Structure 1
């Protein structure tokens, strides 16, 4: 189980100087938040440690007694090609560096190199390893079509194949420390997805959620970063921000598309540097929470229009998941309807009624602009008015009769409806095709099919009888 360790795999430090191992470990943890560290002072023990522990990255000195770093590099690359190796040597020689890269090292740093470059290089290597592991895991899950922890998604009611693919993707990226962007229309259940990611990541801390829509820059900074006493007028005592409250857990920022430009800069720095300053403080604190964001807006379009920072957009979309709207998950509608009616019945102290068999068919032909949240509201409203054994459809009809429409036609400029090389069908033939399609979508229900066609039920019945007699 991976609890608050970054990265999910071990980072092995190999050097014969104990003082350097100790100082490098401190720098990695304080400056990079890297705390999944193994140390080895005797180069003869390196291969045994790699065989025993889950090592994903080795930071290797070259000049050591017993077994040299160059020999170890060749052994690691040959026996464990999936492990990344970074050389950190006291030798500042171009020829040596080029030879190490040729042998398979990911990067080469000189011990006197400034800390910032070293930390960034190591974090870059960790990110590459994380992406390799995630791609490997995703391939395995999609090929075997498995979910290893289905209980993490127990609060999400679905039988949709698209949602199952989303779950498999989330299982693959959950161990990563990188941000996750959840995209989807309002009401599709983005917060439930965030909770599932938090559960899968096995973090010991809490999931802290905040809707950032409408927060001005000062309120955003104070909410996330907290403040020291006296930081501003009215700050009578220190207050921990949400980042600190989420330490060891997950910070979920909803409606990220509404964030102001000034707040976007602060969030970008937080993600890039991994640290922040509480208001009124000159001492930084480390970010120790996984960041998840959600939006119903098209951030790619917003960044093209200059309303959302491009660098922040690409930083956030390291892992992106798109939740399909309810209208694309029509098989889930009966399941969700049953669930919400039972939930409403329990809350109102009533018995759950029988659902008319035509109701799921009717709902499957509705666009649900409010998605699952709208279906839940309709179910609760219907349950509150319910008086008999069979559920009344009046509440649903009042909404659906006003708004039910056939799907919008394709853009005629891009998709021609008829083959230009063949003669046009007659009006009678087109009419028959529409009637057949409406009856198919309505599953044989003439009342619903007539609404889809925009004609009366007697008119539809007349057309059907005429077609049968021909």
Structure 2
């Protein structure tokens, strides 16, 4: 996606031939670059740059008064970050090499081919944009505090990984390039996308669409719209979401499910910022920033031939991966409090308190549905709440109905580590010894996960609290006997 769709600063074209300037301007404007300044006198360039910031300079090499070579040296001195493209009618290799050595980014030979000009300009602006983004990222890494914490107000977290994601979003939000957000279901991918839009400064709308169920015709019609008579029932023209999101952000959720034919159309939108409405032979220019999300691994889809390589590399320019809730357990009590406050206000009820055991119980659960699942659990528990203190029973029934805590993966599949045990005849342990050892390990892990709460640990293990208490005493006695054996004198 290219900055020229909504330039904040002009592209400056310098050439002593008025006809050449008109040709450059017409080509650039027809390509979507609307902020063009032309100068036909090389002596006006430096005074103009002293008062104005520019995005890119196209500079003719052979001009009266001041040559392009002379101007280039002064331009690099006063605005070293602005890319300069040299234009020359003379295929003078020595002059071009000298200009490149003095800081020109590229050169174009006259007569200028229109497509060649567009590609050179687009490449130069993309390089400049990447340099600016890298500078912002470096500044962001050095600055510990968020510049705009209000943009993330709806995301409840204190996790360091999430805070690092916020800083990265601040750095890449002004970019026009696509952003790919990955993460499991319920982690808050759309909230991150909205935050990026708010930080971007774009004046248009944030438009979200889930494309998981789209076939190719529906995708094209939804995004690009159609003209009258495009198909049976198309009695009038209808704009698509690209037009609705003009000047803003288009959020494409579940992009990993996009059919291959639709991927070609999306690629053109990303590369050229243009598209065909359904039933039309006329191209339309687009001014929209694409943010996409997926819970699938599109790298794997690419390797299997189910996702286009060129689209893949376009989308991964900027990537944000949201960690699952089970990897940030310290967020659970904050989210619990937040959802209780929110639901109590909506129901016009007094916010209940809860026993610390509840937090330990929730921390022991894998949350395959992540924050969305916790939100539903809290809402259900509050609806069933009747006493002063919030009961843990609703949570316990849900958790132990869904499956043993910490034994399910992101998609609820069994992830029992005991399935991976493998022994040979040489290292096969005695059954009694192995059983005792595994029991000790499981008890120790359950007590660690439950922060020492025997009631929660017993539920994790699937036994009664009394049985766990007896086993803990037995383990303690065994350890004590082992220490006595070590202290006993050798015979």
Identify whether the pair has TM-score above 0.5, normalized to the shorter chain. yes
In the alignment, is residue 266 of structure 1 matched against residue 273 of structure 2? no
Residue of structure 2 in register with 1:330 after alignment: 329
Q: Partners of 1:127 and 1:232 in 2: how far apart?
A: 38
CA RMSD in angstroms comes to 2.7
Structure 1 gap segments, 5+ residues each: 421-425
Structure 2 gap segments, 5+ residues each: 408-414, 428-432, 481-491
Output aligned runs, 1:382-461, within 5 Å: 382-402=381-401, 403-406=403-406, 431-461=439-469
Residue of structure 2 in register with 1:11 after alignment: 11
SS at match of 1:208: strand
Instruction: Please state how far the C-alpha of 1:66 moved relative to its aligned partner.
Output: 2.7
Change (3 A) 1:253 1:411: farther
Q: Partners of 2:420 and 2:70 in 1: how far apart?
A: 65
CA contact (8 A) 1:180 1:293 kept: yes
Instruction: Please state how far the C-alpha of 1:145 moved relative to its aligned partner.
Output: 1.8
Residue of structure 1 in register with 2:103 after alignment: 104
CA contact (8 A) 2:6 2:287 kept: no
Residue of structure 1 in register with 2:484 after alignment: none
Residue of structure 2 in register with 1:219 after alignment: 218
Output aligned runs, 1:31-430, within 5 Å: 31=31, 33-402=32-401, 403-406=403-406
Instruction: Please state how far the C-alpha of 1:177 moved relative to its aligned partner.
Output: 1.1
Q: TM-score, normalised by structure 2?
A: 0.86
Q: Partners of 2:418 and 2:139 in 1: how far apart?
A: 39
CA contact (8 A) 1:205 1:246 kept: yes
Q: State which structure, 1 or 2, has the greater radius of gyration over its C-alpha atoms.
A: 2
Instruction: Please state how far the C-alpha of 1:377 moved relative to its aligned partner.
Output: 0.8
CA contact (8 A) 2:332 2:363 kept: yes
Q: Partners of 2:53 and 2:418 in 1: how far apart?
A: 54
Change (3 A) 1:440 1:90: same
Instruction: Please state how far the C-alpha of 1:430 moved relative to its aligned partner.
Output: 6.2
Q: Partners of 1:87 and 1:409 in 2: how far apart?
A: 64
Per-residue CA deviations over 1:212-257 (Å, capped at 9, x if unaligned) read 1111111111111111111111111111111111111111111111
Structure 2 residue corresponding to 1:465, chosen from 470, 473, 476: 473
SS at match of 2:352: coil
CA contact (8 A) 1:6 1:177 kept: no
Q: TM-score, normalised by structure 1?
A: 0.90
Q: Partners of 1:410 and 1:35 in 2: how far apart?
A: 60
Residue of structure 2 in register with 1:423 after alignment: none
Instruction: Give aligned pairs, total.
Output: 459
CA contact (8 A) 2:360 2:450 kept: yes
Instruction: Please state how far the C-alpha of 1:446 moved relative to its aligned partner.
Output: 0.7
